[in-house]
Structure 1
Amino acid sequence: MKRIVVKVGSSVLTETTSIAKQRMLNLVGLIAEAREKYEVILVSSGAVAAGYTAVQLNRKVPTSKKVLASLGQPILMSSYKKLFDIYDVTISQILLTEEDFDSRVHTQIVQDIIERTLRNDILPIVNENDISTTPEQLFGDNDQLSAHVAHHTGADLLVILSDIDGYYDSNPQDNPNAIIRKTVKKIEDNELEQKHTPNSEFASGGIVTKLKAAKYMLDNGLEMFLCNGYDLSAARDYLLEGVHNKGTLFTTKK
């Protein structure tokens, strides 16, 4: 059975002051269905945004952001549990930092935990542990975290569900005629120097962090599929039907 990592961003999971229940239910349904075909690891953003649904603190203040994360993580996991219970899927929470991949010992611990979790038919839900850590210990965005999780757990594919349809040949906000690049085999250095443009105030990424994740995957001979998380039809077609209608596939394969 192939192994995949699915990463979902904050903007997909939350509205300004509430959990996006229907979008989360759609995601859970897709993952439950995908688990019949793949071993699935879910990397989920959304803790800070979920915390903000309870208490509106200023996330730009570092300590307040950590408080929001501490509030939001149980809200997020509780929401996931209620929805995955519908499909009789048992979940676990795994919080990681960049330091968990900086030595063989740390990495082996993560690998062993995830392997045993999957072996017992449990869905691991991974997020970055930004509550009791310093900026130097963090990736800073879950796009790159998910790429490292995919590589170090032997996944075949990383699927990033975002608020965009794929990787365009130019900025669609500036160019209405921008076209999605269906397949990308190489990422040039200048592409990684684009402006950092997350579309949500709670998102820590933007297209550049996704391209960095894609480059990491390509450099390790792995594939990444970038598509829309609001409308899961592209992800469903690709994962369950093997049809690439929409979205961008980053691959070194011919």
Structure 2
Amino acid sequence: MQNTLKNIGWQRIVIKVGSALIAPHRDGCSSQYLLSIANFIVRCRAAGIQVVLVSSGSVAAGAHLFNNVDSSSMTVKKAMAAAGQSEMMATWDRLFDFNTAQVLLTHADLCVRDRFESVRDTLTALLNNDILPIVNENDTVTTDKLKVGDNDNLSAMVASAAYADALIICSDINGLYTANPHVDKSATLIRDVARIDANIYSMAGGATSDVGTGGMKTKVQAAEKAVSHGINTYIVNGFSESTFNELLQGNNPGTLFHAIDNPMQDQTHWMKHTTKAQGELVVDDDFAMQKQSDNLLAPQDLVNVIGDFSAGEVVLLRKENGDKLAKVKSNYSSCLLNFVAEQDNDDLSEKLHDASAPILSNQFVPLGS
């Protein structure tokens, strides 16, 4: 088995485990499905493969401690996460005879470049000291503006931050099917995906578990993020022990999304797939993107400013008809740009255009419509 493991070619992997595996009955954590996953991690590490574990489950683990409460309340869910996080970590610790580390993140820790680099440095330091990072979204403190929302997409962001070779996303079915196999008995498993397009997304339905927050669509979104960074991504059945034996033998037990041949540069990937647009700059439908980024947008091109953002935050540049042009950092706040957009004053436009900083920075990523 050792030789087979070495032939896989992995040096560092990220494995994402969902709430339904950790607390399948919402009455606390259970090792029922975690033993085979833990054994897989142990065997990978024994073969010299570094592992990062992205683990959901804090809300589901803490739910049984709250009686006669509105479980849909965001405040209650945060309290459940706070109560369940320690139980979730303790459950994993019982399954390993090596050191683990808790890494709690919000989207704000990833969409600011300095903080993203800090997360990367921390993960690298833990791995280089033979400590298993266990990552989860910090549900206790996160808000709508700061949250990723699901750990499928979080796992892809972590995989890119960690420079992983592979991302393994555990599901409650064998992978991506042509239709929902719980509903359509004629649905067939898709073994390999070379390109993620609208057709692939059309096959991804909603959540099939009543415990987790992510469904097949979020898993495909995560795969798209990962493969564009050069990371092979598997969606597999985490409830089946044979899944992990197959992976260790170098086989594909589910759906393999193949990494693209020419991965995005790290900065470009971060801007497109990790940052979240905090507002929108709207231009006329006849607006044409300039090749030179310092002339990307003139004051007179602005038709509308949507949202509340500060200077230096990422915004979406789009046309009035909804076509998305680019994600870009704004050098000015929404307050100032709103004022500019409302003016019909060539002198004001010229002054801003001639200012030391253009409206948009040279950090931008073109988007398709």
Q: Same fold (TM over 0.5)?
A: yes
Identity %: 38
> AA paired with 1:121?
D
Q: By how many angstroms is 1:121 displaced?
A: 0.6
Matched-pair contact (CA < 8 Å) for 1:44–1:125: yes
Instruction: State the match for 1:52 in structure 2.
Output: 63
Superposed counterparts of 1:199-210, under 5 Å: 199-210=208-219
Describe the superposition over 1:187-243 as per-residue Cα deviations: whole angstroms up to 9, x where unpaired: 2135446776222333110010001001111222221011011103123312x2112
Superposed counterparts of 1:67-216, under 5 Å: 67-84=79-96, 88-189=97-198, 191-192=200-201, 197-216=206-225
- Counterparts of 2:259 and 2:44 in 1: how far apart (Å)? 24
Note if 1:247 corresponds to 2:254. Answer: yes
Equivalent pairs, count: 249
- Counterparts of 1:70 and 1:32 in 2: how far apart (Å)? 28
Structure 1 moving runs of 4+ over 4 Å: 193-196
Greater CA drift, 30-39 or 176-185: 30-39
Question: Aligned with 1:137: secondary structure?
Answer: coil
Greater radius of gyration (CA):
2
> AA paired with 1:40?
V
Q: By how many angstroms is 1:20 displaced?
A: 2.3
Greater CA drift, 141-150 or 50-59: 50-59
- Counterparts of 2:204 and 2:168 in 1: how far apart (Å)? 23
Greater CA drift, 46-55 or 205-214: 46-55
> AA paired with 1:247?
G
TM-score by length of 2: 0.64
Q: Which runs of 5+ in 2 are unaligned?
A: 1-9, 262-369
- Counterparts of 2:72 and 2:30 in 1: how far apart (Å)? 22
The 1:243/1:192 distance shift into structure 2, 3 A limit, reads closer
Higher relative contact order (CA 8 A, sep 6+): 1
Higher percent of residues as helix: 1
Matched-pair contact (CA < 8 Å) for 2:159–2:167: yes
Matched-pair contact (CA < 8 Å) for 1:44–1:142: yes
Greater CA drift, 39-48 or 57-66: 57-66
> AA paired with 1:200?
S
Describe the superposition over 1:6-59 as per-residue Cα deviations: whole angstroms up to 9, x where unpaired: 000111111222322221222212211111231000000000000013334433
- Counterparts of 1:131 and 1:184 in 2: how far apart (Å)? 36
Instruction: State the match for 2:50 in structure 1.
Output: 39
Matched-pair contact (CA < 8 Å) for 1:107–1:152: yes
Greater CA drift, 216-225 or 114-123: 216-225
Q: By how many angstroms is 1:107 displaced?
A: 0.9
Which of 21, 35, 39 is 1:29 aligned to? 39
